Amino acid sequence: MMGGVFALSSVAGPLLGGWFTEGIGWRWAFWMNIPLRTATPRRAPA
């Protein structure tokens, strides 16, 4: 299971990252991280 997840993420991650930076723009990556950062402490236990 972990091997399959690793294989999928190692292929899909760079493809989606390349599409995101070339298509939408790399500056949006910073704006997208703001809500992700605020949601992280609520989900992750201390």
The pLDDT mean for the chain works out to 82
How many CB atoms are located within 10 Å of the residue 20 CB?
A: 14
Hey, CA dihedral for 35, 39, 44, 46, is it positive or negative?
A: positive
Q: What is the mean pLDDT of residues 25-36?
A: 79
Q: What is the mean pLDDT of residues 5-32?
A: 86
Q: Please report which confidence band the pLDDT of residue 35 belongs to, taking 50, 70 and 90 as the band edges.
A: confident
User: What proportion of the chain, given as a percentage, has pLDDT over 70?
Assistant: 87
The confidence score (pLDDT) of residue 43 equals 63
